[in-house]
Structures are given as C-alpha cells and as structure tokens.
Amino acid sequence: MFSAGGMGATARQGGNMWQRWLAPRKRSSRPWLSTVLWPLVGLLMTSSGLAQATNSANADPGRAVYDAQHCVRCHALAGKGNRLRPLDDVGLRLDAAAIRDRVTAGPSVADQLDKRALMAKQKFARLPSADLDALIAFLVKQQAPAPTAPK
C-alpha cells in the first residue's frame, strides 16, 4: 500500500485521489440500464411490496388492528406472542360482548386486572369504533384450540 519512500499508491499514480473521484465520469455504453431497467425494477419491487401490505390489511382489518396495537406483547395467536395469554380459542370461550368488555377493561373485569393491564386495556376504549369493531370481530373468529406447551 505504501512505498518505502512514504509515497502512497495515489501519489505514484499522479493526482489527488479526490480529484479523480470527483472528475466527470465516462458515460455508460448502455444508457438504458440506468434510465429504463433500474427504475422499472424499483417500481416492480415497490408495487409488489405495496400489494402485499394492502392484501394483508384487506384480508382482515381486525388482524391489522391487532398488529397495529401490538397485542402480541401480552397475548399470543398461533403460538406467536406472549404464550401466557393465548387468544386462539377466545371465540369459543367468550361471546362478542364479553370480548369487548375484556378488551376495553369494562367495569365487570376492571377489578380482576392488575394496574398495568388495566392501563394497557383502557386505551382500546379510545380506539375509533370501526377499529374496535373489527378487532372484536377478528377475536370472535379465533376458535382454534390453543397450542399446548411441550412438556
């Protein structure tokens, strides 16, 4: 990299490294690569990503609310999330009114919750009604038996 005389490879080649770096570059012999192909590849990648995000949100708006509100911090679905409080069979155990009461920390369950859980659930009562309804409908559909932990 350096010669015995202390001159670097850049000095031996002549000129300053930064001058060569900032010098105008030779135009490509294939301008269609930079003007057509790469923007097209970027557009396809972006549109497929948008389509995938739109499809997952359109598939079930309640699932989108579940994900947006980070319910997996305290609950689990299909083994993903906090396994201490699975929601896989909540639709079998509770009806829509009872689920709404538990989600929003209604008066019938507020005394059963610790302070931290009560504060976390009270924010759901302030969700827009369409979001809350979608979340409740999504939870009512959860009727698979909860996975058991390996022993």
Using one digit for the tens of pLDDT, what is the confidence trace for 81-120? 988 889 999 999 999 999 999 999 888 888 898 898 888 8
Question: What's the pLDDT band for 50 if we cut at 50, 70, 90?
Answer: very low
Least confident of 26-35, 43-52, 65-74: 43-52
Domain region containing 63: 59-143
For the cut 70, the answer to whether the pLDDT of residue 49 exceeds it is no
**Tally of domains within the chain:** 1
Does residue 8 form part of some domain? no
With contact defined as beta carbons under 8 Å apart, do 66 and 78 qualify? no
- The answer to the question of residue 134 being in a domain is yes
Please check whether residue 54 lies inside any domain of the structure: no
What value does the mean pLDDT take over residues 3-19? Answer: 57
Residue 17: inside a domain: no
Q: Detail the DSSP E strand segments found in the chain.
A: 76-77, 80-81
Residue 130, in any domain of the structure: yes
Exposure string over 101-136, b if 16+ CB within 10 A, otherwise e: bbbbbeeebeeeeeeeeeebbeebeebeeebbbbbb
- Assigned domain for 119 exists: yes
Judged against a pLDDT cut of 60, whether residue 68 lies above it is answered with yes
Within a domain: 110 = yes
Q: Look at residue 3 and tell me if it is in a domain.
A: no
The gap between the terminal CA atoms of the chain, to the nearest Å, is 61
What's the sign of the alpha-carbon dihedral 138, 140, 145, 147? positive
CA distance 105 to 99: 10
Q: Report pLDDT digits (tens) over 125-142.
A: 899 999 999 999 999 999
Give the model's confidence band at 47: pLDDT under 50 very low, under 70 low, under 90 confident, else very high.
Answer: low
Q: What is the CATH number of the domain that holds 98?
A: 1.10.760
Q: Report residue 43's pLDDT band, with 50, 70 and 90 as the boundaries.
A: low
